[in-house]
Amino acid sequence: MNCPQCKQRLTSQSLTCANCGYDINSANWVLLTKVYPPNDLVIESLLISYGILHKMIRHDIPQMPVTVGPLAEVKVMVPEQVLSEAQALLEEMSQESE
Protein backbone atom coordinates (compact mmCIF):
# COMPACT_ATOMS: atom_id res chain seq x y z
CA MET A 1 0.00 0.00 0.00
CA ASN A 2 1.08 3.56 -0.62
CA CYS A 3 0.90 6.47 1.76
CA PRO A 4 -2.23 8.46 0.82
CA GLN A 5 -0.37 11.68 1.49
CA CYS A 6 3.07 11.35 -0.07
CA LYS A 7 2.54 8.20 -2.21
CA GLN A 8 5.58 6.50 -0.77
CA ARG A 9 5.27 2.79 -0.36
CA LEU A 10 4.34 1.84 3.16
CA THR A 11 6.06 -1.09 4.74
CA SER A 12 3.63 -3.88 5.46
CA GLN A 13 1.78 -3.58 8.73
CA SER A 14 3.11 -0.09 9.22
CA LEU A 15 0.51 2.31 10.50
CA THR A 16 2.69 5.39 10.18
CA CYS A 17 4.44 6.53 7.03
CA ALA A 18 8.20 6.48 7.49
CA ASN A 19 8.58 9.23 4.90
CA CYS A 20 6.10 11.91 5.95
CA GLY A 21 4.93 10.63 9.30
CA TYR A 22 1.36 10.30 8.16
CA ASP A 23 -0.62 8.26 10.63
CA ILE A 24 -2.98 5.85 8.90
CA ASN A 25 -5.16 5.76 11.98
CA SER A 26 -5.72 9.48 11.72
CA ALA A 27 -6.98 9.16 8.16
CA ASN A 28 -10.48 10.32 7.46
CA TRP A 29 -11.96 7.17 5.96
CA VAL A 30 -14.68 7.80 3.44
CA LEU A 31 -16.99 5.45 1.61
CA LEU A 32 -15.73 4.69 -1.89
CA THR A 33 -18.44 2.29 -2.91
CA LYS A 34 -20.65 -0.55 -1.76
CA VAL A 35 -20.29 -3.86 -3.49
CA TYR A 36 -21.59 -7.38 -3.28
CA PRO A 37 -19.50 -10.51 -3.38
CA PRO A 38 -17.73 -11.59 -5.50
CA ASN A 39 -17.19 -8.03 -6.80
CA ASP A 40 -15.57 -7.10 -3.51
CA LEU A 41 -12.63 -9.31 -4.42
CA VAL A 42 -12.33 -7.68 -7.84
CA ILE A 43 -12.26 -4.20 -6.33
CA GLU A 44 -9.94 -5.23 -3.55
CA SER A 45 -7.39 -6.68 -5.96
CA LEU A 46 -7.66 -3.57 -8.13
CA LEU A 47 -6.97 -1.30 -5.14
CA ILE A 48 -4.10 -3.50 -4.04
CA SER A 49 -2.54 -3.51 -7.50
CA TYR A 50 -2.64 0.29 -7.55
CA GLY A 51 -1.31 0.51 -4.00
CA ILE A 52 -4.39 2.29 -2.74
CA LEU A 53 -4.90 2.04 0.96
CA HIS A 54 -8.36 0.71 1.72
CA LYS A 55 -10.55 -1.10 4.19
CA MET A 56 -13.16 -3.64 3.29
CA ILE A 57 -15.95 -3.56 5.82
CA ARG A 58 -17.87 -6.77 5.68
CA HIS A 59 -21.03 -7.13 7.65
CA ASP A 60 -20.52 -9.57 10.40
CA ILE A 61 -23.55 -9.52 12.57
CA PRO A 62 -23.35 -12.25 15.21
CA GLN A 63 -27.09 -12.64 15.66
CA MET A 64 -27.59 -13.01 11.92
CA PRO A 65 -25.27 -15.76 10.73
CA VAL A 66 -26.69 -15.99 7.21
CA THR A 67 -25.46 -13.19 5.03
CA VAL A 68 -27.77 -12.89 2.05
CA GLY A 69 -29.05 -9.91 0.13
CA PRO A 70 -28.24 -6.54 1.63
CA LEU A 71 -26.46 -8.13 4.56
CA ALA A 72 -23.73 -9.40 2.30
CA GLU A 73 -22.97 -5.87 1.21
CA VAL A 74 -19.31 -4.86 1.53
CA LYS A 75 -18.39 -1.26 2.17
CA VAL A 76 -15.14 -0.15 0.60
CA MET A 77 -13.52 2.66 2.56
CA VAL A 78 -10.51 4.73 1.48
CA PRO A 79 -8.72 7.71 3.05
CA GLU A 80 -10.26 10.90 1.69
CA GLN A 81 -6.93 11.89 0.07
CA VAL A 82 -7.19 9.02 -2.40
CA LEU A 83 -10.94 9.05 -2.93
CA SER A 84 -10.87 10.76 -6.34
CA GLU A 85 -8.05 8.53 -7.53
CA ALA A 86 -9.92 5.41 -6.42
CA GLN A 87 -13.15 6.65 -7.99
CA ALA A 88 -11.37 7.17 -11.29
CA LEU A 89 -10.07 3.61 -11.15
CA LEU A 90 -13.52 2.20 -10.52
CA GLU A 91 -14.90 4.24 -13.37
CA GLU A 92 -12.26 2.91 -15.71
CA MET A 93 -12.98 -0.60 -14.57
CA SER A 94 -16.71 -0.29 -15.14
CA GLN A 95 -16.15 1.17 -18.60
CA GLU A 96 -13.88 -1.72 -19.54
CA SER A 97 -16.46 -4.28 -18.54
CA GLU A 98 -19.17 -2.73 -20.65
Encoded amino acid at 89, one letter? L
Find, among 83, 63, 65, 69, the residue nearest to 36 by Cα: 69
Query: 15, 20, 30, 88: which one contacts Zn ion (CB under 5 A)?
Result: 20
Query: 14, 19, 45, 84: which one contacts Zn ion (CB under 5 A)?
Result: 19
Determine if 81 is a binding residue for Zn ion (CB under 5 A). Answer: no
Nearest-approach distance from CB 10 to Zn ion, in angstroms = 8
Determine if 15 is a binding residue for Zn ion (CB under 5 A). Answer: no
C-beta separation of 93 from 46 below 8 A: yes
Find, among 46, 44, 76, 45, the residue nearest to 59 by Cα: 76
Binding site for Zn ion (CB under 5 A): 3, 5-6, 8, 17, 19-20, 22
